[in-house]
């Protein structure tokens, strides 16, 4: 569904017109490049206008992008609407909404757990990040999970499933999905096309992750918060909630080693360390930042797993964005992100093409991945690992070659897809559907040698490129998957927070486990040409 009336934020003619320095923007972009941070888009607002915007091709304004934990801020906003309308309060108990999960033996922690605790990450529940989201019973999984501490006792732990339970509460109270609830209240007034939000089998949104938005959609949302809920002269988000959500409700400094995660946590918004402001914050460096001092809204999408590295880069330049009285000259050239590299250059075609053309490659199942709940998928792990509908188990791959292009078709779960790949160094676009999600894939292919074909596929709704390398030895095929960003970078980042997944006594075991993760996830898979 699309919003009938398109609402675009007003644009400044150039950044200096609203007191933003093009020179500083250029320095910020160069810093990102120097730090090897893959940025997909940037949008900066001041004085109610878009001062600057840029996308790194193939990402562009019309494609929604994975928001990861930025989704939490939208869940929080839905709760804000519900409270303003008298549908719930901050003191509403989770178990009162789901009385069927009340145990026969009274659980004091469960009797205390309320909306405030869920919003501020003080629930005390210890839901594992490795829990299988392909399961159908997310609510039961939450109630069955162990307690790490008592709700509201001063402890804090970042658990995304807290926001899923808020969505479950809203759905039970209103009889609507959260997307349905937010559409007339938030999406329509802001001119945001009704977005896709990952959900469980019952249609309950993930809450803590899974929302897909365009860059300007996130900018509108953060700008509305900056304006205390006002947008286009109308009160959209309840004013009281815009103050309450950004206010610190939990002291998270004793419970994390990440600098910017120690500055206080609100209702699914983070207080900022580098500036006087707050932010919506998502994995792989998705940010919506509001400065309370400088009338700046900064929004970006990216594919960098070390969010602190990205934030440090932003803070180094943020306070230099403001200039006085249009004192800098209008730039002759607008700073741009440019295109992301795809290292598949045009190469000689293999003689093996004729033998392979139209033949079916039957792939074997990786039993280890299936046992772990992560069957091999053409999509990168960062897209599907928290999905409730993982496709997986790629089979029946077919290539067809036609000069400067080839097509790759495959079966995955109950879905069949075909992508068009440029073999001349230029990516081609194809619609694909995997794990219940629609993507636009930009794809290239090239023969590395006579027996090795490599395919690159970037689903632009996601954060990284999938690389598939196929080696042919007669009828035997060895498929080697990898992603850019590498699985090793993800494992390294997770290992920094090993205590969240393993008790201290198993700390060394946890480090070894994370070290082995890339080899398991990206293990070679065998197949045969029929």
C-alpha span between 75 and 123 (Å, rounded)? 16
The pLDDT-based confidence of 435 (bands split at 50, 70, 90) is confident
Average pLDDT on 161-167 reads 97
Cβ contact 303:278 at 8 Å: no
Strands, E assignment, 161-285: 212-213, 230-231, 234-235, 270-271, 277-282
The pLDDT-based confidence of 457 (bands split at 50, 70, 90) is very high
* Domains delineated in the chain: 21-318 (3.40.710.10), 353-529 (2.40.128.20)
C-alpha span between 493 and 440 (Å, rounded)? 28
Rg from Cα positions in the chain:
24
pLDDT in tens, 203-217: 999 999 999 999 999
Average pLDDT on 188-195 reads 96
Cβ contact 379:467 at 8 Å: no
The pLDDT-based confidence of 517 (bands split at 50, 70, 90) is low
Average pLDDT on 266-281 reads 93
The pLDDT-based confidence of 325 (bands split at 50, 70, 90) is low
C-alpha span between 211 and 75 (Å, rounded)? 10
CB atoms within 10 A of CB 4: 7
Judged against a pLDDT cut of 90, whether residue 400 lies above it is answered with yes
The overall average pLDDT reported for the chain is: 89
Three-state DSSP state, 1: coil
Strands, E assignment, 47-153: 49-55, 65-66
**What pLDDT is recorded for position 4?**
46
Residues 6+ apart with CB under 8 A from 242: 224, 225, 228, 229
The pLDDT-based confidence of 252 (bands split at 50, 70, 90) is confident
Give the strands of the sheet with 277-282, arranged side by side.
49-55, 39-46, 296-302, 286-291, 277-282, 270-271
Judged against a pLDDT cut of 50, whether residue 399 lies above it is answered with yes
The pLDDT-based confidence of 498 (bands split at 50, 70, 90) is very low
CA distances from 491 to 5, 317, 521 (A): 44, 29, 10
pLDDT in tens, 93-138: 999 999 999 999 999 999 999 999 999 999 999 887 656 565 668 9
Strand 452-459, strand 394-402: pairing: unpaired
Q: Which of 89-93, 330-334, 421-425, 460-464 has the lowest mean pLDDT?
A: 330-334
C-alpha span between 291 and 312 (Å, rounded)? 16
The pLDDT-based confidence of 380 (bands split at 50, 70, 90) is confident
Judged against a pLDDT cut of 90, whether residue 60 lies above it is answered with yes
Q: Hey, what are 416's tokens?
A: 């069949």
Q: Which of 45-54, 80-89, 458-467 has the lowest mean pLDDT?
A: 458-467
**What pLDDT is recorded for position 1?**
46
**What pLDDT is recorded for position 468?**
94
**What pLDDT is recorded for position 384?**
59
Judged against a pLDDT cut of 60, whether residue 509 lies above it is answered with no
Q: State the burial class of residue 312 (Cβ atoms within 10 Å of its Cβ: 0-12, 13-18, 19+).
A: middle
Judged against a pLDDT cut of 70, whether residue 141 lies above it is answered with yes
């Amino acid at each position: 569904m699309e919003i009938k009336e398109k609402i675009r934020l007003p644009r400044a003619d150039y950044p200096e017109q609203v007191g933003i320095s093009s020179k500083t923007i250029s320095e910020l972009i160069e810093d990102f490049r120097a730090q090897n941070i893959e940025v997909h888009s940037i949008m900066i607002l001041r004085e109610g206008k878009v001062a600057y915007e840029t996308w790194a091709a193939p990402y562009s304004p019309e494609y929604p992008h994975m928001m990861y934990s930025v989704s939490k801020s939208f869940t929080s906003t839905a709760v804000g609407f519900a409270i303003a309308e008298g549908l719930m309060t901050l003191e509403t108990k989770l178990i009162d909404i789901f009385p069927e999960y009340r145990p026969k033996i009274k659980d004091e922690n469960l009797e205390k757990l309320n909306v405030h605790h869920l919003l501020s990450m003080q629930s005390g529940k210890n839901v594992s990040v490795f829990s299988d989201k392909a399961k159908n019973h997310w609510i039961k999984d939450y109630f069955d999970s162990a307690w790490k501490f008592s709700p509201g006792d001063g402890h804090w732990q970042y658990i995304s499933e807290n926001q899923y339970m808020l969505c479950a509460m809203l759905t039970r109270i209103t009889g609507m999905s959260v997307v349905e609830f937010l559409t007339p209240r938030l999406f329509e007034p802001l001119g945001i096309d009704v977005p896709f939000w990952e959900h469980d089998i019952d249609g309950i949104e993930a809450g803590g992750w899974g929302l897909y938005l365009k860059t300007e959609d996130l900018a509108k949302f953060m700008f509305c918060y900056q304006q205390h809920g006002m947008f286009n002269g109308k009160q959209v988000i309840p004013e009281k909630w815009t103050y309450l959500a950004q206010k610190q409700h939990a002291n998270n400094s004793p419970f994390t080693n990440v600098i910017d995660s120690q500055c206080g946590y609100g209702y699914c918004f983070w207080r900022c360390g580098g500036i006087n402001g707050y932010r919506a914050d998502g994995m792989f460096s998705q940010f919506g930042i509001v400065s309370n001092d400088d009338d700046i809204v900064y929004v970006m999408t990216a594919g960098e797993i070390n969010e602190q590295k990205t934030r440090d880069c932003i803070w180094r330049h943020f306070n230099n964005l403001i200039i006085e009285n249009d004192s800098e000259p209008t730039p002759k050239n607008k700073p741009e992100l440019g295109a992301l590299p795809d290292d598949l250059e045009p190469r000689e075609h293999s003689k093996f093409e004729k033998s392979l053309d139209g033949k079916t490659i039957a792939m074997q199942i990786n039993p280890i991945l299936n046992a772990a709940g992560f069957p091999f998928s053409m999509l990168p792990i960062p897209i599907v690992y928290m999905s409730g509908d993982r496709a997986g188990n790629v089979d029946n791959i077919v290539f067809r070659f036609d000069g400067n292009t080839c097509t790759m078709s495959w079966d995955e779960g109950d879905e069949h897809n075909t992508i068009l790949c440029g073999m001349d160094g230029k990516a081609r676009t194809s619609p694909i559907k995997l794990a219940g999600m629609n993507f636009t894939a930009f794809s290239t292919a090239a023969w590395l040698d006579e027996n090795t074909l490599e395919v690159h596929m970037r689903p632009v709704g996601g954060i990284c490129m999938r690389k598939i390398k196929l080696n042919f030895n007669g009828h035997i095929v060895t498929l080697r998957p990898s992603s850019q960003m590498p699985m090793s970078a993800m494992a390294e980042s997770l290992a920094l927070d090993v205590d969240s997944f393993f008790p201290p006594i198993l700390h060394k075991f946890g480090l070894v486990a994370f070290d082995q993760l890339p080899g398991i996830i990206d293990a070679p898979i065998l197949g045969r040409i029929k």
